[in-house]
Amino acid sequence: MRRVLLSVLTGLFITGASAVTPAVAEPKGGAATAYGAPSKLGARDVINEIIDVVGLKPRFEVRAANVPNAAAVIMNGQRYILYNENFVNSLNTALRTDWAGISILAHEIGHHLNGHTLSKGGSNQQDELEADEFSGFVLRKMGASLSEAQAAIKVLADDEDSYTHPGKSSRLTAISKGWRNAHDQILASAKAGTPNRTVAGINRPVASEPAVATVANTKRSTSTSSRKMPAQYIMRQVKLQSLPNERIFVTTSFSLVRETDQGMEVIGKLQKTNNRNFPYMLESRYFNALFVSTEGILLNEEGRKVGVLTTT
């Protein structure tokens, strides 16, 4: 069955896969020149389901295109998920489950959300495993069994490692790791207790912090102390080149807050990724997503340095 599928479908993330991770103006060979309507697989709005699971804004567009299988790319500063509609439909039909197609899209979304498209080095084994782990995590959150989450890779991945992609066994292990992490979260969701977290080299326990919101009531005190976040709840200060006078902080519960004359305003959050080089990203309505390097450098979606995380 695997031989028949491979002859019909082309290798998932293998042929043409170098278009997956580099930040390029266009995919190799200019393959993605014609775009279809925004993607929906069957009656399910899969992209919104995936985004709902991870709690992030979909800062990319999904399009059916004439690519070999699927790819995460940056073109003209815009992030895209491109997929071959016939390939995905044939895969779902052959495996008799739409989880196969969903895992493809989740894998590619994982490349974007983990910052892999910031790298100019092309596909590599570590990035592919991180995207596989993300796919497993997402599919468990969406209700897939481990077998369903692994269905596409079981059939399409090569047994041996290549220069850009790990072999089947490693990829199935990565998907299983993500799936089990999500499964453990689901089981523990009702339990109390918050683990320690590390941000850009600082290991601090997550403390309960006071509610922070914009204070509009003019009768409330406007003393300096009432307008500032207590130091024990601040993990890092965010310094942006485009907003040099703004006082923005990451709190110990990973909230992103801005200091105003009226009080503290929640403007976003710090999200964990699976990327070893960019372990966190900042999501805010104030600015586009920013990736945080292991040194606390902030980069935009084009890979340009736009600020830093510092101690206060």
Q: Which of 159, 188, 217 is the last residue of a domain?
A: 188
Q: Which backbone phi and psi does 309 adopt, to 5 degrees? A: -100, 130
Residues 249 and 116 in one domain: no
Range of the domain at 163: 46-188
pLDDT in single tens digits along all 312 residues of the chain = 333 333 333 333 333 333 333 222 233 333 444 444 444 454 357 777 888 887 777 778 888 888 888 888 888 888 888 988 888 888 888 898 889 999 999 999 999 888 888 877 778 999 999 999 999 999 998 989 999 999 999 998 999 999 889 999 999 999 999 999 988 887 776 454 444 444 554 444 444 455 554 433 333 433 444 467 778 888 899 999 998 999 999 988 888 998 888 788 888 888 888 788 888 889 887 788 898 988 899 998 778 899 999 986
Residues 65 and 167 in one domain: yes
Residue 114 lies in a domain: yes
Residue 211 lies in a domain: no
How many domains, the chain?
A: 2
Q: Which residues pair with 62 in a beta bridge?
A: 81
81 in the Ramachandran plot: left (φ > 0), alpha (ψ -120 to 50) or beta? beta
Per-residue confidence (pLDDT) for residue 215, from 0 to 100: 37
Q: Which backbone phi and psi does 243 adopt, to 5 degrees? A: -135, 65
Residues 145 and 69 in one domain: yes
Residue 203 lies in a domain: no
Task: List the one residue out of 204, 188, 223, 12 whose CA is nearest residue 103.
Answer: 12
Residues 53 and 171 in one domain: yes
Residues sharing a CB contact under 8 Å with residue 216, sequence separation 6 or more, in sequence order: 262
Residue 3 lies in a domain: no
Q: Which of 137, 165, 188 is the last residue of a domain?
A: 188
Per-residue confidence (pLDDT) for residue 138, from 0 to 100: 93
Residue 218 lies in a domain: no
Per-residue confidence (pLDDT) for residue 221, from 0 to 100: 39
Residues 68 and 152 in one domain: yes
Residue 242 lies in a domain: yes
Residues 172 and 245 in one domain: no
Count of C-beta atoms within a 10 Å radius of residue 307: 22
Task: List the one residue out of 136, 177, 176, 172 whose CA is nearest residue 156.
Answer: 172
Residue 216 lies in a domain: no
Residue 127 lies in a domain: yes
Q: Which of 153, 188, 223 is the last residue of a domain?
A: 188
Residues 182 and 60 in one domain: yes
Residues 60 and 174 in one domain: yes
Q: How far is CA 281 from CA 25, 187, 274, 284, 300, in A?
A: 23, 26, 10, 10, 10
Residues 237 and 182 in one domain: no
CB 126 within 8 A of CB 142: no
